[in-house]
Structure 1
Amino acid sequence: MFNPTLYVKQNQLQRRDVGLVLQDMIHRLQWNQEEHILDVGCGPGDITTSVLSNYLPDDVTIVGCDISENMIKYAQDTFGSKRFNFKQLDVGNSNIWMNWEEESFDKIFSFYCLHWVKDLKQAAENMNTLLKKGGELITFTPVSHPFFELFKKIYNDPKWREQMKVMKTYDALYRGFDHDQYLETLKATGFEILSAEVREWSYSHASMEQFLGSYTTFDNALFGNFVETQKSS
C-alpha cells in the first residue's frame, strides 16, 4: 500500500506517537532474559529499529512483520541483522502456520496497523496463538483521524471521484475503528485487558509540502493521480 522509500521520509507523526505510547507503557511490562519480540505492521522497519528497539532490553531479538512484500524487502535489505529480522505476514489470514510457529513470542507490539485489518477477530486469534503463555500484547490504533475524514470528503466530491475510485479497496479509510468492539474481540480471543485508554493528540505539519508528502506515501494507484492533479490545478 505504501511506498517504503517515501514512507520513511514522511512518518514523523507515527514516530512521535509510537514514542509517546512506549514512554507511557514500557515501565508496566515485566522482562525476562533474551525475549523474542514481534512487531506487527512494521512497515519499512525504521520505527522498529530506531524507536521501538530503544525502549527494549539489549538482549531481545525482534521480528518485524508486514502484509506488504515491498515493505518487508526494504526492511530486511536496510535493517536486517542478527538482532532484527523481517518476514511477510498477513496477520488477518487464518492460513499462516506453515511459516510461523505457535507460542514463539514473549511480547507483541503493533502500532498504526490493526485499523487496516479487515478480519480483526482472526488477527487477534493469530496474535494470541503466536504469544507464549503469559505473553503480552501492546497495540496503538487510531480510533479516528482527520486523515480518514479528508479522504472520505474527497471521494464524495464529484471533482475527484474518478481519481479516487480505488479508495474502496482500502476500506479502513471509511469504515472507522470501534474501540469497544476491539476490546471485546480481544477478550473473546483469550486476552485479558490490563489497560485500555483513548487519548486525543494533535499534530501540525511543518509545511504544506510536508502535509502533501504524507499522502504521497500511499500507493500511486490510490492517491498519486489526485495529488498530481491538485498540484497542477
Structure 2
Amino acid sequence: MFMVEEYVNASKVQYQDAMDVIEEFDKEISETKGKCIDVGCGPGEVTKRLLLPKLPSGVEVVGADISKPMIDYARDKYRDEKRLSFTYLDIQTEELPNEHVGQYNNLFSFFCFHWCHNTGRTFENVWKLLRPGGTALTMFPASTEIFNAYEKLHENPRYKPYMQDVDRFVPYFHRCKDPRAALRTLLEDIGFEIQHCSRRERSCIFQNTQTLKDHVTPINPFVSRFPDQDLQEEFMDALMREMATMKIQFSKKDYSDQKELGILNRYQLLVAYIKKPSDAR
C-alpha cells in the first residue's frame, strides 16, 4: 500500500475493529511483559493510539510492515515516542532476518494476514518471532465481497492483464467452508496452544458509493498497475458497481434535494489469541 494519507483518512472501519478487539483483550494486554511487535502496523495509528496506551509503561513495541511508505510515515510521525520504533518486515518471507527471530514476548497483528497468500508460512513465522511462552493476538478478515469482486473483474479482458495474480489477493480462508475450523487446524499443526479462536460477523454503513470508493481505493492492489488515470478510474468504477450488486443498499433521509443510497457492508473477521508453549524451541 502506497497511498498512506488516503489510507489514514479512510480506515475508520479497520480502526474501530482493532479498537474492539484490543478492548476485549484488555486484561491480557495490560499484563504484557517483555518486547512486543505489531505486524502489519501500516501508518502506526493503531500501534500508537490504541495498543501502546494499554501496555504497561515499561513495554516497548516494534511496528513492522512490508510497505516502505507506511513505515516512513510512521517513523516520521511518531519519532518522539521513545517506546515505539518501526521496521520493514515481510511476515511471509521464506527466511526471517536473524535480528527478529525469537526476539519477541508478544505479537499483535490487525488487518494484515489476509494480505498473505502463504498463510501457513505466515503463522510459522509468527512462531519463529516469538520466544518460548510468547503470545500472539491476531485479527484479520476471513471473508468480504471485495474478494468476490476481484475474481469477477479478473474475467474482464480489459482488466485481466493487470490482475494476473488475483489469487494472491483472495485469502485462503475466504474459500473455506469453515474458516474458524481451518484456522484452528493450521495453528494446532504448527504447535500453538489456542487460548481463543473465533469468527465474527461484522457490519458497517457507508454513506454512499463515494465513501465506499474512498475506503477501498487505498487498499486496492491492482489500481496502480493500470497505465493511465482514465483506465484506473474506469476500473474503480467497475469495482464499485460490482460490489454494489453484492451489498444491501437502502434509502435514507436526506434533508437536501439530493438522494443517496446508503450501503451496508457485511464481512467476517477471524480473531485468534495463541501461545507458543514454554518448552518449545
Please tell me the root mean square deviation across aligned C-alpha atoms, in Å: 2.5
Distance 1:231 1:189 in 2: 39
**Structure 2 residue 81 is matched with structure 1 residue 84:** no
Distance 1:112 1:231 in 2: 22
Q: Deviations for 1:34-56, whole angstroms, at most 9, x for unmatched residues?
A: x3111111111112111222332
Instruction: Give the letter aligned to residue 150 of structure 2.
Output: F
Distance 1:141 1:78 in 2: 25
> Which runs of 4 or more aligned residues in structure 1 lie more than 6 Å from their structure 2 counterparts after TM superposition?
230-233
Aligned to 1:60: 59
Q: Are 1:66 and 1:72, in contact at CA under 8 Å, matched by a contact in 2?
A: yes
- Aligned in 2, Cα 1:85/1:232: closer, same or farther, shift over 3 Å? closer
Distance 2:39 2:153 in 1: 30
Scaled by the length of structure 1, the TM-score of the pair is 0.85
Aligned to 2:170: 174
Aligned to 1:142: 141
TM-aligned CA deviation for residue 182 of structure 1: 2.4
SS in 1 for 2:192: coil
Over the matched positions of the two proteins, sequence identity in percent amounts to 29
Q: Are 2:107 and 2:135, in contact at CA under 8 Å, matched by a contact in 1?
A: yes
Q: Pairwise mapping of residues 33-44 of structure 1 onto structure 2 (< 5 A)? A: 33=33, 35-44=34-43
Q: Are 2:124 and 2:190, in contact at CA under 8 Å, matched by a contact in 1?
A: yes
Distance 1:89 1:231 in 2: 29
Count of aligned positions:
228
TM-aligned CA deviation for residue 2 of structure 1: 4.1
Aligned to 2:271: none
User: Which runs of 5 or more structure 1 residues have no equivalent in the other structure?
Assistant: none
Q: Are 1:39 and 1:109, in contact at CA under 8 Å, matched by a contact in 2?
A: yes
**Structure 2 residue 197 is matched with structure 1 residue 201:** no
Distance 1:168 1:99 in 2: 35
- Aligned in 2, Cα 1:232/1:195: closer, same or farther, shift over 3 Å? closer
User: Which runs of 5 or more structure 2 residues have no equivalent in the other structure?
Assistant: 174-178, 239-281
Aligned to 1:190: 191
- Aligned in 2, Cα 1:214/1:175: closer, same or farther, shift over 3 Å? same
